[in-house]
Each structure stands twice: as C-alpha cells, then as structure tokens.
Structure 1
Amino acid sequence: MIDRIRTVGLLILCILLLSQSIQAQTTPIMPAAPDPAGINQGRFIGVVLGTAAFYTITLLMLRKQWYKKKVPFHSFNDNAEWLQMDKVGHAATAYCMSRGGYELMRWSGVDERASILTGGLLALLFQTTLEVYDGHSEGWGFSKGDMFANVAGTALFVGQQFGPGQQVVSLKYGFRKTIFPPYRPNVLGKTTGVQMLKDYNAQQYWLSVNLASVLPVGPSFPRWLNLDLGYSGSGMIGGHENPPVFDQHGKEVKFERYRQFFISPDADLSRINAFSPSLQRFIGTAQFFKIPAPSLEFNRVNGLRFHPLILPKE
C-alpha cells in the first residue's frame, strides 16, 4: 500500500509537468536563470494547491484504509530484508520526488535555490510521514534504514543541483516479469501492476551517469549519452529467507537468493534541445524509468551474461 501511494505521487508529478509542455523553445542543459518576470501566479497557485490536496488526501486514505489500528510508536530493523532492494527503492523514490517537486517549482517561476529546497523538503515530508505512520502500525515499525535511504536519495538530487547545477548522476527504475510471484502471490503480487511494486526480483535500480559531464569529451560527443550501473536480486520469495513452497505436484521448490549487477548504455532525453522547456522538465522526471537497452550482467550463480535488449524472465 505504501509503495503504491509513493508511485501514484510520482505519476502525478509527471502528469502535472506533461500537461504544461506546450511551448516550442529550447532549453540549455544547465539550469536557466530566474525568470525576470518572477513567479507565474497561476501556475504557482495550481502547483501549491495540487501538492497540498495530494498530501492531504493521501493521509486521509491511509488513516482510513491502512492504519486503522494504531499502536504506540515503535521501530524495527528490516535492513537485511530483500537483499536491500527495498532500501535502494526508497532512495530512488526520494530522488525522483525531489526532482519532480523542483521541476514543478521552476516551471512556476520560483528561483533556483528555493526550488531546490522545496523539492527536497517535499520529498522528505512525504516519505517521513509514511515512515511515522509505519511506526504506529501493528506489524510494521519505523525503519531507520528506510529513513536513511530517503535522506540519501533526496541528498543526491539536492547536492548535485546546488553543486554542479545539473544532474550528472540520476537514479532510475526498471522492471521485468519473474517466475516467483505465483509461489507467494500475496507477498509478491498477483497482477503485473502489483508486481511492479512488490516483486523485488522483478525490479532493477540504475545509477545513470552522464558521460559528457564526467569525461573530457569534445563538442561532437553526444551530450545525451549515459552509462548505467544496475542492481537487482533474484530468488527471493521472503524478506530474510525463503519459506518452504511446493509445486502443483507437492514437491518442494527451492530458490537460491543472489545479487545481480548490470552495466548498460542509456539516453538522457532531457538533454536534447529540440524539446520545449516544459517538455524537458517532464522528461527529466519521467526518465525515472530506464529505457530498454543491451546490458551486461554478472552474478555469482550464472557468471557473466549478455542481454540483447531487455532482461529475461527468471
């Protein structure tokens, strides 16, 4: 439920940005100077009201449907679960929310510094609220590991925007179907949409590096070319360990849990100046989803493997 709410938040940010991508201008890679006209009141009021409404409605929904039974605030340690895939997911979500909030503020005419701080604070406010709710929820608890990941993801965006003034490194998400959900559908999801949120075997998280920003390249080098380093896990049907499961013939099925590491080319489409400024802002946030591309994988079970386009079902 919590992961679903986070994902809805990301989609709303993308939709708000896309709905305004109607101008036909070009934008430089570096952040634009503050608009001399100042804040666009119509846009700014719309963003503020939309953000406040989303935050309020989300809290009311959670209280009514998810946190019905409130218990005293407590914490728990889930740092060893799911080969830390959930922690990487928290960092990636916080990064994308920070970037989305920033882009909405800049589109509204807010100056660079205030937009950076607002984007980061909005992401932390949303994520922290959910963690506090978990702390009062029976069966869950406040996770210091989750909170650390939330801060790390936010800091990655804020630090780069204050420092080099651009996102040299970004975090992205990938997905592929796996064979594991049928063995524990209530945990890993019964449908593809739910599996995108709950099946950690199906998820990949990518650290995307813009090559032109870190290498001494010439003017003819494609500014949009990125190199991505990916991480995932496989063989997981339980958090800490796999419970016994059986096939249709009653025979026990055992899965080996292991980590996967990837390297793959990527494209940062927000660096293509042919798009309008508003569309570039939308693309920068929407590219939370990794573009399918050839990749090289290494894991301790299968060794080195090459995937021509998308990762195979496992």
Structure 2
Amino acid sequence: MKQGMRAWVLVGFSLLLPGQSIRAQVLTPAPAPVTEQPGIRQGRFIGVVASTAAFYTITLLLLRKQWYKKKVPFHSFNDNREWLQMDKVGHTATAYCMSRGGYELMRWSGVNERASILTGGLLALLFQTTLEVYDGHADGWGFSKGDMLANVAGTALFVGQQYGTGQQIVSMKYGFRKTIFPPYRPNLLGKTTGQQMLKDYNGQQYWLSVNLASALPVGPSFPRWLNLDVGYSGSGMTGGHENPRMVDAVGNEVKFERHRQFFISPDADLSRISTFSPSLQRFIGTAQFFKIPAPSLEFNRVKGFRFHPLILPRE
C-alpha cells in the first residue's frame, strides 16, 4: 500500500529534524521568544545537507529493492475514488510535514527565511514526485494525478502560510485508533498494530489544526498554545473501491457500511510556549505531527453525532 510506504518514509524523515519553531504572532503578538544567532552555522549546515542527501538516496534504493522489484513501462491510473479519499488526505499531510521539516532543518542550520521556505517545499516535492514516478513504473500501481495534486496541496499549505504570514496558522496532524477490520483482511490492512497504523485507513484520522490566537483577534491574555482541530476519517472499508464478500468464523456473511467521519476537537500547540528555547520549540513541533488525545465531537451519516470524552473508541 503506497500510503503505508510513505508513512514509513515520513517517520524516518522526521528523525532528521531538530523540531519546528514558532514565530511571532500576527494578530496578537506574544512576548518575543529567545532567538538563535543569525548566519549559517557551517557544521549544522554540512550535517543537514549530507544527512538529507543520504536519506534520500538510501530510501529510494531500499524502496526499489522492496516495493518496486518488477518494473513495467510507465503508465498512469486513477485511484481518486479509493478509500473514501483517505489516501489523498494522507498524501497532503505527508507533503505538508516534509515541507515543514525541510524548512526547519534549513532554519536550524542558519539559512535565511525565504531560502528555507523554498528549500523545504522543493525537497518535499522532489521526494514525493520521485515516488510517483516509481509508481508509474510499478506493476499493479501507476502514476496518480490525484496523488500529485495532493502532494502539491500539502506543500502549498506550508509554503503559502510561511511566505504570507511568517507562521503556520493552520497545520496538519495525524491520529490513529485500533479497529475491527484488519482481521478480515490482514494482508491488506495489517497484522500488527504498527502495520495497521500505516495500512488501516479506518483507524487513521487527519486533522487541520487552527491556532486560535493567530486566526482570531483575541486579547493578550488568551492562551497562544490553544488550537481547534477539524478531523476527517473513514470507516467500514475493507477494500479500496468496495468491500469484497467476507464471512465470519462460522461462515456467516459479514457486511460493513462504508462511511465518512468528521470530528472537531480542542488541541494544544506546545511549540508556542515562548519560554522554551528555539531548538526545544522545534523538537516539540516535530513530535506534534501526532494529534494530542482530547474530547471530540463526531458526526457521520450512520450513527449521527457522537461525543468522545478523550480518545476515539475502537470501531
């Protein structure tokens, strides 16, 4: 599964990051944080360039060996209707995180703001486009225009905000919960929890996280770490386009209704705590690609509105 593969790549890429920083608020300025010394830090810069190049090269070699063993003539295919578009949202989130991560690596190295933004966006598009070209030569897959559009959207979300406002008012986050569906198709949806985090779209959630102090004209006493998240997921899926016929242990047919799920939940952006050093802010920001468990309100057409006190229940 391509998105599962990309998730592994994203996890590996995130290990390179020192974290993500926060800049001054636009509408309601916070006390100025401690800033790092200007100018390129040669040791950091050389290390970042070398490690990024090595990561790119080694990852692509491993992917060619593990996932792209059988090469066929370049072709495309349309997978836009698969998995209730969960894979497309996943592409957007991956491209966003890689753009932001590349930017932070450059800023940590002392590269100026505009060059760091451009470098982060280009690195994300280079990596994602390379994978799409690989897919175009892979048996059973193909180059997906929908995937590329999602990659560009994720990169644009980061680059546009950073150029336009100097901060990330809206960020993207990932969440996961265990579901009942993998045992019916373990090879497709994952046998272990680790595999299911990457393969089971029923258990994944993707969140748009809005920093309220940056988006609204609030006063100086308003908590600048408070975010409001809007989430999306799907459920009842045991196949890409449709569910195959399945039976339980005693031979009775099992049917699941495929449906979309929408959530709203508070969140905390701990990287906006100004007492932390810039490097610590970056580290916290990187770790916060994962949604912090919090009360949430869900709506779906099958079960209507549901309130979840802390973490989402097992589906």
Distance 2:2 2:140 in 1: 14
Task: Answer with 271-280 or 88-97: which moved more.
Answer: 271-280
In terms of mean alpha carbon deviation, does 222-231 or 60-69 score higher?
60-69
- Contact 2:8-2:198 within 8 A present in 1 as well: no
Equivalent-residue separation in structure 2 for 1:124 and 1:44 (angstroms): 21
Is residue 10 of structure 2 the alignment partner of residue 7 of structure 1? no
Q: 1:12 offset after TM fit, Å?
A: 3.7
Work out the CA distance in 2 between the residues paired with 1:239 and 1:261. Answer: 20
C-alpha distance after superposition, 1:224-256 (max 9, x if no partner): 100000000000000000000110001110000
Residue pairs, 1:19-58, within 5 angstroms: 28-29=23-24, 37-58=38-59
**Aligned equivalent of 2:148:** 147
Q: Give the partner amino acid of 1:95.
A: Y
Q: 2:178·2:203 contact (CA, 8 Å) conserved in 1?
A: yes
Per-residue CA deviations over 1:258-284 (Å, capped at 9, x if unaligned) read 000000000011101122211111222
Q: Determine the structure 1 residue equivalent to 2:105.
A: 104
TM-score, normalization: structure 2? 0.93
**Which residue pairs with 1:168 in the alignment?**
169
Distance 1:9 1:141 in 2: 19
The RMSD of aligned alpha carbons is 2.0
- Supply the distance in 2 between the matched residues of 1:68 and 1:78 (Cα, whole angstroms): 21
Contact in 2 for aligned 1:17/1:279 (Cα 8 Å): no
Cα distance in structure 2, aligned partners of 1:83 and 1:2? 15
Question: Match for residue 124 of structure 2?
Answer: 123
Q: Secondary structure at the match of 1:16?
A: coil
Give the C-alpha shift of residue 56 in structure 1.
Answer: 0.4
Looking at structure 2, the residues matched to 117 and 11 of structure 1 have their Cα atoms a distance apart, in angstroms, of: 22
Gaps in structure 2 of 5+ consecutive residues: 26-31
Aligned counterparts of 1:33 and 1:79: Cα–Cα separation in 2? 45
Correspondence 1:271-286 to 2 at 5 A = 271-286=272-287
Q: 1:45 to 1:62 in 2, by over 3 A?
A: same
Q: Which residue of 1 aligns with 2:302?
A: 301
Q: Counterparts of 1:62-211 in structure 2 under 5 Å? A: 62-211=63-212
Q: Give the C-alpha shift of residue 34 in structure 1.
A: 9.4
TM-score w.r.t. length of structure 1: 0.94
Unaligned runs of 5+ in 1: none
Query: Partner residue of 1:17?
Result: 17
CA contact (8 A) 2:9 2:59 kept: no
2:215 is the counterpart of 1:214: yes
Q: Secondary structure at the match of 2:141?
A: coil
Q: Trace 1:185-264 onto structure 2 (pairs within 5 A).
A: 185-264=186-265
